[in-house]
Amino acid sequence: MPELPEVETIRRQLSEHLAGRTITSTRVLDPLLVDPEDPADFARRLTGRALREIRRTGKYLFIELDDGEALALHLRMTGQLLWTPGEPDEPTPYARAVLGFDDGSMVTFADPRRFGRAWFLPAGRAARSRAWGRRTGVDAMSPGFTARSLGASLERRTAAIKALILDQRIVAGVGNIYADEALFRARIHPRRPGGSLTQAEVRRLHRAIRDRLRMGISVGGASFDRYRDAHGGRGGMQDLFLVHRRQGEPCPRCRTIIEKGVVAQRGTYWCPRCQPLEAEVQGEADVEAQGEAEVKVQAAC
């Protein structure tokens, strides 16, 4: 599933091509994409509008229109937004909607599994916020996401830390890939109860989330699967994964074999030595303390 870096890559590419452009045609090929809106009404509403800017919160894109409304898009599992300078040479497989622009360029929403959605958001801050509800909390790359805000959201929580950072209301934009990578960077076991993290661990985790997302953006996202950018290109993050999808391989830090299990109903990868299940006694653990924690975990098994 595209996460923050993948959606941000698409946002940047589309912004470059489309800012200020007018939508001259709208074809909805799959009514489910715009459900419950009528596809003809949807097309009428969108056609003729100019694009002011394209924004992003978490994994959602917002195409801001000249009348103050926005078109919200979520790619879900397998959605792609493909830009072409004109009509594509061949029909795009799994196309669900096609937008045409005043310079002849086109954007195709393609989506084999059809979980992606597009819908209108009203003009005006209050109406927008009512319509949006509590779908997302603070974006992981925004200044509002701080170690302090993360710590406050984790307080007294008994759920696994991985489940909590996947919760888009706590931090928007982190999905399965970047959760595993950030937890490894922060040396925190994905099954640790959120409320058990020390302040030092919360700070490390906040830093690690930012660091891995920034890395993902800088290489255009992760393309081990379906994800393609707006030009149909692949990202490079899959070659930089530290633990994600690397079970059975040596940990890049300590050479211990990386494990895989299920946490928060998702395939999860971690290093059993660098990410002990036991909480740190205090502050930053040194290597020796981590070794001891590992022995304790083994004894408990």
- CA atoms within 13 A of residue 190's CA, in its CB half-sphere: 28
162 part of the active site: no
Scan for tokens 């489940």, then name that residue.
Answer: 163
Site for Zn ion in 272-301 (CB under 5 A): 273-274
Interface segment toward Zn ion; rule CB under 5 A; list 96-104, 215-223, 251-259, 278-286: 251-259
Distance CA 71, CA 62 (A): 6
CA dist., res. 263 & res. 268, Å (int): 6
Residue from 198, 238, 256, 290 touching Zn ion (CB under 5 A): that is 256
244 lies in the binding site for Zn ion (CB under 5 A): no
Q: How far is the CB of 224 from Zn ion (least distance, A)?
A: 22
The verdict on 185 binding Zn ion (CB under 5 A) reads no
Comparing every residue's Cβ against Zn ion, the nearest one is 251
Q: Dig out the tokens for 55 from the structure.
A: 């924004």
Choosing from 28, 251, 285, 293, the residue that interacts with Zn ion (CB under 5 A) is 251
In this chain, which stretch among 17-25, 71-79, 227-235, 248-256 interacts with Zn ion, using CB under 5 A?
A: 248-256
Task: Say whether 266 is catalytic.
Answer: yes
Site for Zn ion in 257-276 (CB under 5 A): 271, 273-274
Q: Does the annotation count 192 as an active-site position?
A: no
Which residue, 11 or 187, is less far from Zn ion as judged by CB? Answer: 187
Marked catalytic residue, from 21, 226, 266, 272: 266
2 is catalytic: yes
Please give the Cα distance from 172 to 150 (Å, whole number): 12
- Left, alpha or beta for 173 (phi > 0: left; psi -120 to 50: alpha)? left
Least separation in angstroms between CB 255 and Zn ion: 7
**Cα–Cα distances in angstroms (integers) from residue 37 to residues 11, 42, 111, 296, in the given order:** 24, 6, 19, 57
Residue 268 · residue 162 · CB < 8 Å: yes
Strands 95-101 and 23-28: antiparallel
Which of 253, 266, 277, 290 touches Zn ion (CB under 5 A)?
A: 253
Q: How many residues bind Zn ion (CB under 5 A)?
A: 7
Helix (H, G, I), strand (E, B) or coil at 177: helix
Of the candidates 279, 76, 59, 275, the one whose C-alpha atom is nearest the C-alpha of residue 181 is 275
Rounded Cα distance, 95 and 92, in Å: 6
Nearer to Zn ion (CB atom), residue 2 or residue 276: 276
Catalytic choice (3, 181, 201, 278): 3
Taking CB under 5 A as the criterion, the residue among 40, 127, 152, 254 binding Zn ion is: 254
The one catalytic residue among 11, 59, 185, 273: 59
The catalytic residues are 2-3, 59, 266
The residue ranges that bind Zn ion (CB under 5 A) are: 251, 253-254, 256, 271, 273-274
